[in-house]
Amino acid sequence: MAQKKSHEVDAFLGRPDKSSVIVLLYGPDKGLVSERATVFARSTGLALDDPFAVIRLEADDVDSDPARLSDEARTISMFGGERLLWVRNAAGQKGLADAVKILAAEPPTDTRILIEAGDLKKSAALRTIVEGARPAMALPCYSDDSRGIDAVIDDVLSREKLQITLDARQMLRDSLGGDRLATRGELEKLCLYAHGKERITADDVREAVGDVSALSHDEIVDAILIGDIARFSTAFDRVVKSGSPPFLILNTAMRQFQQMQILRYAIEQERKPIATAVASARPPVFFNRRKLVENALGRWTGESLVRVMERLQRTILESRRNAALAIPIIRQALLAFTVEAARAGRNK
C-alpha cells in the first residue's frame, strides 16, 4: 500500500522517495497539511516562486476540467528541468480523482503532483486511488500529540535561541495542539513577548499564549462537565464556524468522560475524597483545571457517566451514518449532557 502512518510522515518528508510522483497530504489539521506540503515542495529543490516550475491549481478548477491536470503534468517546461503541480483544497471532487487515476496509471517523467486535501474518509475515491497506486504516496496529517507539540516547541525556540522551564513547557503542551499553524503562531508570539530573555517561564506563557486547544474542543467539554449552557453554545458555534471537523469534538468528549469514569471509580469504590482522586490522577489533571474537574465530579455519578458513554457511542454512529446532519446530531447530544450537569449542580 502506498501510504504512511501518521508518525512516519515527517521521516518520509525528510527523505522523500523520488519514485512517489503523486503525493497526497490529507487530514483534519489544515495547518499541519499546509506546513508539510510546503516542506515537500521545498524538498524538490524548485524555486517555489517560479511560475514556470511550480504550477498552483485549485481542486475545484481541476474537477471542472479534469483533462487540465494531465495536460499540465505532461507539458514540457519552457526552460527544461522538473516541474511541480501543487493542487490545493482537495476533498471529494470526482473529476480530480479521475484525473489522478489517469496519472497514476501513466505517471509523467519530469513532473511531480502534490495534493493538499481535507480529512478524507478511508473510502474516499482520491485517497483510495493514491493508496493503491505504485508511483504515489498518501500521507495522513492529524493534530499534534504531546510528542509532536514538543518537537514544534523545540523547533521554534531553538531558532530564537530561547530556553524554557519545565513548568512552562508543561503549560505550553496543555495550551497548544489544535492546529499546527495556530500552534506556531502562538509560539512565535511567545518568543516576541520573551525577547531579550534567556529563559521562558510559566508566567511568560500565562501572559502571552492563548489556549489554542482549550478555546476549541476542550472548552466545549469543560462547559459540558459543569453544566455551563451559555459557554457550551458559544464554544460549539465557534468551533463549527472555524471549519473544524465535528467528530473531533466527540473524540475529546470521549477522552474526558473516560477520565471522569476513572476518577469516579476511585471516589466510589476506593473511597478517595474528590480532591485526592483528582490530585493523584494519571495522566495528571493540569493544575488550572483541577477545580473545574472537582466541580464536575460532584455532578456526575458512576451510573450517569455510563449512560453518557453509551450515548456518545450512539452519537458517533449516528453522525457517521448521517454526515449531512452530523453537526445538529452532535450538538443535541452534547447539549443534553450539559443540561444534565446543570440540573445536577442545582440539586446538590
Structural domains in the chain, sorted by start: 6-140 (3.40.50.300), 146-208 (1.10.8.60), 214-346 (1.20.272.10)
Tell me the pLDDT band of 216, cut-offs 50, 70 and 90: low
* DSSP codes of every residue in 25-68: EE-S-HHHHHHHHHHHHHHTT--TT-TTTEEEEEHHHHHH-THH
CB 216 within 8 A of CB 235: yes
Q: How far apart are CA 205 and CA 222, in angstroms?
A: 21
Mean model confidence pLDDT for the chain: 87
163 DSSP assignment: E
Quote the pLDDT of residue 288. Answer: 73
Q: How far apart are CA 59 and CA 70, in angstroms?
A: 13
More confidently predicted of 213 and 235: 235
**Does residue 330 surpass a pLDDT of 60?**
yes
Residue 92 CB neighbour total at 10 angstroms: 16
The residue whose grid cell reads 457517566 is 305
Cell of 164: 524554557
Quote the pLDDT of residue 286. Answer: 75
In DSSP terms, 242 is beta-bridged to none
**What are the start-end ranges of the E strands in 143-186?**
163-164
Summarize the confidence of residues 273-289 as an average pLDDT: 83
Full-model pTM: 0.53
**CA angle, 160 then 166 then 167, to 5°:** 110
Q: Is the four-CA dihedral 121, 127, 129, 134 of positive or negative sign?
A: negative
Summarize the confidence of residues 258-282 as an average pLDDT: 90
